[in-house]
Amino acid sequence: METLTELQLDGLPGPLYFHGGLSPGNIASQTHAGMRSQPRLAARQCLAKMRTVLGLGVPVALLPPLARPDIGHVRKLGFSGTDGDVLSAVARQDPLALRQACSNAFAWTANCATVIPATDSEDGYTHFIPANLAAMPHRALEASARTAMLRRIFSDGERFCVHDAVPALTDLGDEGAANHHRAAGPDGAVHLFVHGRSREILPEQLPRKHPARQWLGASAAAARLGRARQVVHARQHPAAIDAGAFHNDVVMVGSPSRILVHEQAWVDLSAVLDAVQRATGGVTVWVVPAARVPLAEAVRSYLFNSLLIDTPTGTVLVAPGEAAEGAAAAEIAQMLAEHFVSRVVHVAVRESMHGGGGPACLRLRVPLAAAGLAAVPRGVLLDEAKLQRLEAWVDRRYRTHLDLDDLRDPNLLDEGRTALDELTNILALPRLYDFQGAAV
């Protein structure tokens, strides 16, 4: 099999980053709803995480923030006039629509798409299947803009295919790579898709407290669109969803060679792992017993929302700072003692965590051969000099604090556009946004 490099395509909160509490089932989002946010700190923490990953010898690229507020969406709700008039009217008449139009949940880039690399697809293309994110209104706004942005970045039609999202129908809700994992062993690679519901699952078998967002039909469609050669489907355990694991990546994380999973992650854990092992010829697995790390602790610490990265010097776990205490810390110590991982690095992403997104949420894994990596525009690839430019940009353009009432401020619209206009120059992606004249 051709050697692949896993590009980390990282998201970044925009200047309007706020805690809107828009995501039922996401305990952190609900807990911090309405809390004063710190946009500058949020962006700085994400950039610091990117610097940590770069330091491990892993390539990182930046997927730019979406433009917020989404004035185009608000106009579709019947508001008219200048952009300022539209913003003022929706703030008075429909505050929830304003919060949805301002949502920065796009920063959690693991949700933006599913990626099937060229080595695993029947037609030799690297496929991107953007997620429709149909389960949550504020996230469903992302699909078309993210599709256009992915097409702009992965524009080499000889190597990449960026599909349209799966139709946003009731029974085709797709949450992207937060419910997908690529495992690879001596016999090949397999794509594990995890769903929470399907047409065949009876209502009494569904979670009781929180919604199951990923549909089996959407997972199957993504696998077909990506022409994946080997696929395994797993059903997320209702108990995990009810505990706050609204996506699979709250109870499972992996690298190509390793899987770290909670024993209550899936309905039939043993059968799923057996299928993965047969398809790959063997990957290393660490199952965390609920007796050692209960589901509530997994959700609190976001232990499984870490990055598990294979490096030339061993497998590194990049974990949120919250996993450095309690039962999660004890489990990490055991993983180190038994050489499941060779090193652990804790990163501070507290602002993102307050919205329900840890290190794994903040990036999309894009496995590429050397030629595919060379086809990625140089402007979005990060190095230390680019990170320093981005940090200076954040310090200039992001507010230190933001309250929900601030979303009514008409100056935020101009501030955000000025910031993103400057960002496109830093990344050498001019005319990326509709306000610049691009159709995004």
Q: Which residues are catalytic?
A: 175, 247, 361
Q: Which residue has the tokens 């999309």?
A: 364
Q: Cβ contacts of residue 43 below 8 Å, gap of 6+?
A: 12, 13, 17, 394, 398
Cα–Cα distance measured from residue 379 to residue 33, given in angstroms and rounded to the nearest whole number: 35
Closest CA to 109 of 29, 15, 12, 20: 12
Q: From residue 246, how far is each of 29, 50, 150 by CA, in Å?
A: 11, 25, 25
269 within 8 A of 239, measured Cβ to Cβ = no
Q: Which residue has the tokens 């086809």?
A: 375
> What count of Cα atoms within 13 Å lies in the side-chain half-sphere of residue 349?
35
Burial 14-50 (b: 16+ CB within 10 A, else e): bbbbbbbbbbebbbbbeebbeeebbbbbbbbbbbebb
49 within 8 A of 55, measured Cβ to Cβ = no
Cα–Cα distance measured from residue 161 to residue 175, given in angstroms and rounded to the nearest whole number: 19
Cα–Cα distance measured from residue 240 to residue 367, given in angstroms and rounded to the nearest whole number: 28
Cα radius of gyration (the chain): 20
Q: Which residue has the tokens 């990060």?
A: 382
